[in-house]
Amino acid sequence: MTPPLILENLTKHYGPVLGIEDLSLEVHRGEIFGFLGPNGAGKSTTISTILDFIRPTSGSATVLGMDSRRDSVAIHRQVGYLPGELAMHERMTGGELLRYLAALRRVDATAAIATLAERFDLDLNRRIRAYSSGNRQKVGLVQAFMHSPQLLILDEPTNGLDPQQIRQFRELIKELGKEHTIFLSTHILPEVEKTCNRILIINRRKLRASDTPQNLVQRRREGSDIVLEVKAKAK
């Protein structure tokens, strides 16, 4: 079967500035895939290119067997996406926003919304403007999961969550990973160590390492060179 996500030599330039360079990977069906790197490494650029929010300079992305550019509308229907920063209608309640997003997808997600909100202890009757950053993140997670997508793409999914909600998130990810494919982008190493089957490390816009969490941890203990370094610019 075709892997749900394939990147082939994906490259993005913003004029003279490099976003990502020659990134190739495959994410397999039923895999929880960790996309790890420091801020500014190229993670969000990669996701934006996969979802056709921006166009690659060269290379290609295949999502659920479809071309990321030609079939972007169909892809968006079948993918659950949590951006690093989710824009929301401040005057809506959490429940109103989620029902609105479900209607845009033309799915009845009433039961799923209620179940996920209970799991994350999210009050759906409060207005978005009254939510804390953690509750806004919960809304983002619910909208990504509520239509039972074949592929989940999550950008920094635990931002703002308290330790109890992070545990809930990890449990949910492990449950979903049995039948769904999950692409989890983060700069937090313990996050991918605890949830992912395989990790790809990106730094300075290029692939640096790819392995299982156990092997990467072992290599780190043995002193192998997999450390992500971010050097400050000289003043």
Q: In this structure, what is the dihedral angle of CA atoms 191, 195, 19, 64, given to the nearest 10 degrees?
A: -160
Q: Token digits for 142?
A: 């619910």
- Tell me the whole-structure pTM to 2 decimals: 0.88
**CA R_g for the chain:** 18
Please answer whether residues 183 and 33 qualify as being in contact, where contact means their C-beta atoms are separated by less than 8 angstroms.
yes
Q: Cα–Cα distances in Å, from 21 out to 9, 30, 80, 208?
A: 7, 27, 25, 12
Task: Determine the pLDDT at residue 178.
Answer: 81
> Cα separation of 235 and 232, whole Å?
9
pLDDT of the chain, 235 residues: tens digit per residue: 789 999 999 999 999 899 999 999 999 999 999 999 988 889 999 999 999 999 999 999 999 999 999 999 999 999 999 998 888 999 999 999 999 999 999 999 999 999 999 999 999 999 999 999 999 999 999 999 999 999 999 999 999 999 999 999 999 999 888 889 999 999 988 888 889 999 999 887 787 777 777 777 666 666 555 444 333 333 3
CA atoms within 13 A on the CB side of 132: 9
Helical H segments across the chain, by residue range? 43-50, 72-78, 94-105, 110-119, 133-145, 163-176, 189-195, 213-221
